[in-house]
Structure 1
Amino acid sequence: MKTNSLLTFLVVFAIISSCKQKTETKTTQPITMKKKEVVYQVFTRLFGNTNTTNKPWGTIEENGVGKFADFTEEALQEIKDLGVTHIWYTGVPHHAVINDYTAYGISNDDPDVVKGRAGSPYAVKDYYNVNPDLALDPAIRLQEFKELIERTHKSGLKVIIDIVPNHVARNYEGVTNPEGVSDFGAADDTTKEYDVNNNFYYIPGQSFKVPEWQDGYLPLGGDKNPLADSKFEENPAKWTGNGSRLAQPNFNDWYETVKINYGVRPDGTKDFEQLPEPYRNMDYKAHFEFWKDKIVPDSWDKFKDIALYWLDFGVDGFRFDMAEMVPVEFWSYMNSSIKMKNPDAFLLAEVYNPSLYRDYIHLGKMDYLYDKVELYDSIKHIMKGYGWTDHIPVVQRGMEDIEHHMLHFLENHDEQRIASPDFVGDATLAKPAMVVSATLSTSPTMIYFGQEVGEPGAEDAGFGDPTRTSIFDYIGVPHHQRWVNNKKFDGGQLLPQEKDLRDFYKRLLNFTIKSDALMGAYQEIHFYNKDNTENYDHRVLSYVRWSDEEKLIIVSNFDAQKNYAFDLKLPEDVVSKWNLMDGDYRLMDELYGEEKPELHIKEGKGQFKVKLEPLQSYIFSVKE
């Protein structure tokens, strides 16, 4: 074990040392485009819920539910004023729920294939409609969502919704399909495991069996329901959403969903034309032309039509769930069609395999991918106390060619809340991390509703586990509810530390969406200072960002206990690139508007005194 640990240390040390040598003078070049974008992910059914009962497995009547109508003009204006450009309404497409909507022509869903009582938003039941839970009147739920889109646009925000391409609910049933649109699987040859134009994969001769429940789990927490009988009729059985080929999937499989067939045979070979390698460097118009005369699998057309339908409805972009489980050629086909209709559509994909990033960006024509495995995981380790800031320049260098396409976040619905004890237990520990996440690159920033007030996700909601705000249950979100303040949306019930935290997020995010430098060049000065500055170590991080109009020096202290005082140094090459002559320059902290000690330039080198309190960050702008 010691030998392996030593070897690991030496490898990591070598990588960091190599990166240090290469990045001291390396500059990431600016990207020519608009200002930074900030996405506010909001779980739509939880946002406006003011019910505080929070009974485990509570019904919609017991625990309450938010509505489209809760996003009032006042609420949306407050979100925009936080420093947001896009709002991702999570959980909008109609997914399986345990609630009786038969009066509206909607069949009841079986608890044996629904996770939680409110249902997973990633088990979509009808792609051409919206979750009836979210409407004041389910009969006009589409109209209510249309009005929400209009209110959102009026407030100056753009709208993103989910498309879940890899799987659908086992009980998929489109009751409001546009004319000529058939349901998934309606024309499938179910005698075959696979056919290129089947929408699903089948297990001929076997019927689906409900998983064996584990660890004391019972659907609905054991509440009685006529459909909760450990049976669900599906004959023949279909492959499960995560790819399980068992007629009786495991409890930990995505048993509530079935996998979509995109023309990939069970042995992994493909029944569609491959993109020639030169298309990696071609734009979406060339991709559109490539596919224009090609015959593609039926599932490709079904999802393309779904995306175009929602664009026509007024949606401005999509977040694609588990995109790496779907062939990259399909994304070329669909995303080029989307961009032909709306070149400014915001296309964000959930991809976790770094070896696939460039394929899904260049061949799949994605705008943005989650930067989880590289930046998020690195920052999380630093926040938890066992990671070094030395690794962040390493990550940034590795992403240099695609850094603009890697969306940064510290929370989303899949990740633990920062304030949960399983993460760091204190939302203020995210302050330096958030500064770095939001200012390190030209990429968009995303925050999750409640993050800005330190929501800990502590509720035992039912199917959902504490540490993450449940996406499966009817539940209230306590810290967020204090900001909602009985739908005044003014933070009137927030505790002082929650107000301070939200003020920090507001200052930071608003700066990022206005800054020219954050869409300009980047260079790390961390290793230079670590080698040449006393009292500077691996709990501190520094780098510079600049454009013709703005020069920034960013320094953060990730230590929750320790103060730092040192003379931060600006290397000669940065001074030269900034055309700074010998002399003194004013520094302004852009977070809190305070003027700080002067930057002294002498013989082509710069330095100034920095005092950092625990968890403090500065975004210094250089004033000539």
Structure 2
Amino acid sequence: MNRIKYGLLFLAISLLLACKDKSKPIEEQPMAATEEKKKEVVYQVFTRLFGNTNNTNKPWGTIEENGVGKFNDFTDKALQEIKDLGVTHIWYTGVPQHATITDYTEYGISPDDPDVVKGRAGSPYAVKDYYNVNPDLAENPEERLQEFESLIARTHKAGLKVLIDIVPNHVARNYEGLTNPDGVTDFGAEDDKTLTYNVNNNFYYNPGEAFQVPEWKDGYQPLGGEDHPLADGEFDENPAKWTGNGSRLSQPNMNDWYETVKINYGVDPNGNYDFDELPPGFEDKDYIAHFEFWKDKTVPNSWVKFKDIALYWIEKGVDGFRFDMAEMVPVEFWSYMNSAIKIKNPDAFLLAEVYQPHLYRDYIRKGKMDYLYDKVQLYDTIKSIMQGHGKTDHIPAIQEDLKDIEQHMLHFLENHDEQRIASPEFAGSAKKGKPAMVVSATISSAPTLVYFGQELGEPGAEDAGFGKPSRTSIFDYIGVPTYQRWVNDKKFDGGKSTEDERNLRDFYKRLLNFTINSTALVGDYKDLHTYNRENTEDYSDRVLSFARWSEDEKLIIISNFDAEKPGEFNLKIPEEIIKSWNLENGSYSLTDQLYGTYKTELKVEGKAGSVQIKLGPQESFILKFN
């Protein structure tokens, strides 16, 4: 009996010691490299474009002329190929039903007005019905929800997790829920429209003023000027609602998000909050404490509506969400909704679009976001380096600034909002993305995002209608030529891809698969660049180097961004790393993990080390300590 008591006491003390740092916010604790925790890779695919093999590509073309991809195009073979690329999560962009010009009235869906729709296919961020999915994507629009549920099941069968968009900041002007669950009313259905603002109104209004279509300039016309019975410069909305980007004008500008209306979260027109705020110290508490905090609070109606929407999709098997323009919605709402999501699924993957660095920590710690875009720091800096006018000297400072939240800052080089790497407006060559991709994917423990076609060098050159080339259109029906060659009449084998495209995809496949299996990449990080810029001859501001390590894996990663000049120098390894790695004097072999052909040695003498490096233009090595 006494042995049991002492055993229990010893266990309690051991657990207490193991948790001694738990008083710190979870974001400030070092991330242990374990078998359970590995890097994640999100593959963003624009669902409407994925399986479209039609190559007509007529500007402003109809769905009949230019074709459209379907849920069913994601076959077992297609999904396995995506997984084999080194992907853990697939983000199906454009799934919730949004406004579109294509006529689905025979299925009970009201027609949408071209005067408040961008493009012919419509923006996926002007959601029209949150409890159903885009009819474009179904073989049988009447059974579109069931077809998406089947896709969720196939995706899970392939070993991938499913993400979709939720856009809490705004909805389509013509929002209309046809399949709402019992007790759910549409946004705005119960609003008092005689008031500009009421805490439980879903929208903001301009009483006594009717909405007016924007004044079109610079030759723009809806549908490219094509005749359409609803394209008459009028849209019936009275009183006018505030526009999604915050414009209060009854006639928004054509550059505003005029196709959407802003959601009211209990923030009055003067910026005052009509809801409880989180008490001091709640940034240190977990999602369970946040959930408990909100349980007995009265919250604005819009909060409840979006929480119910998120939980509906979690119940359907969706594994997480990408939240559009999260910074335009109060952080308290995110605490309320994300904690409810995590109670339902603790492993839910929650990714948010936040572009103001001073808000990052609030949206992570108070808002309980798992991940934020690392755009305005890492992405923008790497883009300038790829374009030839930026320096790698700026990257170590970014990592230092974000070191307490680095595991939350998702990295990308492309997504639907950004220019394609291969476009002339960005880098003009997909090969310039190779060193950048190595850095982006390995410099932190956060997930990596790859946009479909990035791995093939898609340049986004098509004139689809709304918007301009360099970004693959999200507004119109279009084919994506580089991707269509890989799809190869839905064989999904790259049978029509060029040699350059196959080689680039092979590079991505090697890199991404390494990242999701590496323990070092969720372990420690040490900048080598700054030390070598100060101490190494011929080491330039077009090269970047750093070390990553865990208990069982040690890496030296080095990339040359220069498109013309090779890099040859003796990379110096500081005493701090030699000591951390417990290295004695001698030589240690290093082998590149991307292709396995480059080998060199780490020579340790005294308290420091050095590695002879010979990099080709745009070449990278992930050197593993043997």
TM-score by length of 1: 0.95
Amino acid at match of 2:214: P
Amino acid at match of 1:236: P
Aligned to 1:607: 610
Given that 1:464 and 1:473 are in contact with CA atoms closer than 8 Å, whether structure 2 keeps it comes out as no
1:80 to 83, 95, 109: 83
Q: In the aligned structure 2, how far is the partner of 1:516 from the partner of 1:88?
A: 24
Shift of 1:604: 2.3
Aligned alpha-carbon RMSD (Å): 1.0
Aligned to 1:237: 240
Shift of 1:588: 1.1
1:261 to 260, 264, 288: 264
Superposed counterparts of 1:405-420, under 5 Å: 405-420=408-423
1:34 to 27, 34, 37: 37
Amino acid at match of 2:148: F
Q: In the aligned structure 1, how far is the partner of 2:567 from the partner of 2:515?
A: 25
Q: In the aligned structure 2, how far is the partner of 1:208 from the partner of 1:531?
A: 61
Given that 1:384 and 1:424 are in contact with CA atoms closer than 8 Å, whether structure 2 keeps it comes out as yes
Q: Secondary structure at the match of 2:589?
A: strand
Aligned to 2:191: 188
Q: In the aligned structure 1, how far is the partner of 2:29 from the partner of 2:287?
A: 25
Amino acid at match of 2:174: N
Q: Secondary structure at the match of 1:329?
A: helix
Q: Secondary structure at the match of 1:567?
A: strand
Aligned to 1:149: 152
The answer to whether structure 1 residue 158 and structure 2 residue 161 are counterparts is yes
Aligned to 2:587: 584
Given that 1:45 and 1:66 are in contact with CA atoms closer than 8 Å, whether structure 2 keeps it comes out as yes
Q: In the aligned structure 2, how far is the partner of 1:597 from the partner of 1:409?
A: 30
Superposed counterparts of 1:308-319, under 5 Å: 308-319=311-322
Given that 1:73 and 1:155 are in contact with CA atoms closer than 8 Å, whether structure 2 keeps it comes out as yes
Aligned to 2:380: 377
Aligned to 1:21: none
Aligned to 2:16: none
2:509 to 506, 510, 518: 506
Q: In the aligned structure 2, how far is the partner of 1:300 from the partner of 1:608?
A: 56
2:93 to 87, 90, 93: 90
Q: In the aligned structure 1, how far is the partner of 2:207 from the partner of 2:117?
A: 24
Aligned to 1:22: none
**Paired positions, count:** 597
Shift of 1:29: 4.4
Q: Secondary structure at the match of 2:216?
A: coil
1:544 to 547, 559, 584: 547
Amino acid at match of 2:150: E
Given that 1:28 and 1:522 are in contact with CA atoms closer than 8 Å, whether structure 2 keeps it comes out as no
Q: In the aligned structure 2, how far is the partner of 1:233 from the partner of 1:526?
A: 59
The answer to whether structure 1 residue 120 and structure 2 residue 123 are counterparts is yes
Shift of 1:30: 3.6
Moved over 3 A (4+): 27-33
Given that 1:455 and 1:480 are in contact with CA atoms closer than 8 Å, whether structure 2 keeps it comes out as yes
Shift of 1:298: 0.2
Report percent identity of matched pairs: 72
Amino acid at match of 1:490: D
Amino acid at match of 1:392: I
Q: Secondary structure at the match of 1:277?
A: coil
Aligned to 2:353: 350
- C-alpha offsets along residues 520-564 of structure 1, whole Å, 9 cap, x if unaligned? 000001111112211101111110000000000001100000011
Superposed counterparts of 1:215-226, under 5 Å: 215-226=218-229
2:108 to 102, 105, 109: 105
Given that 1:464 and 1:471 are in contact with CA atoms closer than 8 Å, whether structure 2 keeps it comes out as no
Shift of 1:222: 1.1
Aligned to 2:7: none
Q: In the aligned structure 2, how far is the partner of 1:66 from the partner of 1:595?
A: 42
Q: In the aligned structure 1, how far is the partner of 2:601 from the partner of 2:610?
A: 9
Shift of 1:607: 1.0
Superposed counterparts of 1:242-391, under 5 Å: 242-391=245-394
Q: In the aligned structure 2, how far is the partner of 1:39 from the partner of 1:227?
A: 39
- C-alpha offsets along residues 245-284 of structure 1, whole Å, 9 cap, x if unaligned? 1111000010000000000000000000010121010000
Q: In the aligned structure 1, how far is the partner of 2:617 from the partner of 2:334?
A: 45
Q: Secondary structure at the match of 1:390?
A: helix
Q: Which runs of 5+ in 2 are unaligned?
A: 1-27
Aligned to 1:6: none
Given that 1:368 and 1:407 are in contact with CA atoms closer than 8 Å, whether structure 2 keeps it comes out as yes
Q: In the aligned structure 2, how far is the partner of 1:564 from the partner of 1:616?
A: 9
Q: In the aligned structure 2, how far is the partner of 1:577 from the partner of 1:507?
A: 28
- C-alpha offsets along residues 52-95 of structure 1, whole Å, 9 cap, x if unaligned? 00000000000000000000000000000000000000000000
Shift of 1:599: 1.4
Q: Secondary structure at the match of 2:185?
A: coil
Q: Secondary structure at the match of 1:243?
A: coil
Q: In the aligned structure 2, how far is the partner of 1:245 from the partner of 1:301?
A: 24
